[in-house]
Amino acid sequence: MNTKLLKSLVTSTAALAMGATAFGAGYALFESSAAGNADAAGLMTKGGQPSAMFFSPAAISDLEGTQVSVGSSFLLTHFSIDGKNPYTGETMTKEAEDRLFTLPHVYVTHKLSDDVQVGLGIYEKFGLGLTMDGDWYGRYSNVEVDIMTVTVAPTISYKLSDSLSIGASLNVQGMSVAMKQKIPGSKVSPQLTDPMFDITQEVESDISLGLGASVGINWDATENLHLAASYTSRVKHDIDGDVSYYKHPVLNAAPVFKNTTGSAELTTPDEVILAASYDFTDKLTLGAAVTYSSWSVFDELVIEYDSLAAVGAPSVTATKNWKDTVRFAFGGSYQVNENWVLRASYTYDDSPLNKSHPDYLVPAHDRHIFAIGAGWTKGDWTVDMSYFFEFVKGTDVKADFAHGVYEGSYNDSNANCLGITVTRRF
């Protein structure tokens, strides 16, 4: 079996077990709701909305009656990649297709008694995607990838006292992945160097179900100081999928590219959040949150194949060695009057990627997020809106020709996100 072909298949089939977000945070999503997008620290520490359970299951303890929140975040991404032609030294710049992603969310809470609150959250915690032209220079690393996860989280919170609450969630997470890349025809025959002989590989996974849990605690330390902490466990996914090849007619008989099935394991990281907010006046609250994510769980990816005819080996391993990260968020809210509240925040998000193992599946680096938002309440209805601008810092990329990666850089990139959440109280 050709060693370079084997390495190429390792990189591409890795999409069975991970999806590429165009930006930082690995492939995690933090778009909880319109209020959370604009001021996550304030939402986690003071609650007041069903979507607070996204950050801490204890944060819904003060909600009255039955409440339902429905909404979505709409994320538009834009970025480009530079690569250096190893033969001419020419810099090749390629822009990814701008894509609009819809990230819906649904939250329901119900007060069972003075001390007990139950809830249900449905949201996306990991995902996004990447689309490039089929003839771009990095097509042997990646052309298109999409990952979607849906978390269903039944939640319960309990008030130990007027100032202290605890809570827990069971996180049932479903994941599916689709991916496309090219393999050069020269891997079959050295004479087939023209891109017209490229072979298209597509990966389609089944839906994988994984189980995890979250616990949280909220404490009003004083009348003005509000503290919160939560832990969300890692979730293990056993991914099964189909690997299909679409070849130029000349290559139809190539035996090493028979369709097959495969499997892999992916474990999403543990997450710890600490948050605090302080009411400086009756109207103004400022806060901060720190999120630790154990991305080092993604140290390597082992792919098991069900057919030796496809890759010539029963399993292959790709090294990733991601690092743990810390995310910092600073925000605040201002209660204009009984109907209107304004929110704003800044977030710094560290990238977990290891530069020694580059690929075009996650072409990103550290990011800065600037958010604003507003909420309007009238009677039993609340409508929250938010907007954030995300700036992603560029970074140099080492060459890894065995996996289709050129020396170059991930350029400065950006994203725009609009969020809306409608809440009804019964």
Cα three-residue angle 281-41-71, rounded to 5 degrees: 110
Residue type for position 290: V
pLDDT for position 92: 84
pLDDT for position 114: 93
pLDDT for position 46: 95
Element housing 209 (H / E)? strand 208-220
pLDDT for position 24: 52
Q: Where are the alpha helices (DSSP H) in 200-250?
A: none
pLDDT for position 333: 97
Q: How many angstroms separate the CA atoms of 403 and 12, rounded? A: 8
C-alpha torsion sign, points 353, 356, 361, 366? positive
Q: How many angstroms separate the CA atoms of 289 and 293, rounded? A: 13
In the sheet that holds 91-95, the strands lie side by side as 91-95, 80-84, 408-410, 395-397
Instruction: Give 10-residue mean pLDDT values along the chain (426 residues).
Output: 38 37 68 96 95 97 96 88 80 81 94 96 86 83 83 97 96 89 76 79 87 97 97 92 73 61 86 98 97 89 65 65 92 96 95 78 80 97 97 81 77 90 97
Domains and CATH numbers, the chain: 3-425 (2.40.160.60)
Residue tagged 């919160």 (tokens): 228
CB 32 within 8 A of CB 53: no
pLDDT for position 414: 86
The 10s digit of each residue's pLDDT in 183-241 is 787 776 777 777 777 888 888 888 889 999 999 999 999 999 999 999 999 999 988 88
pLDDT for position 148: 82
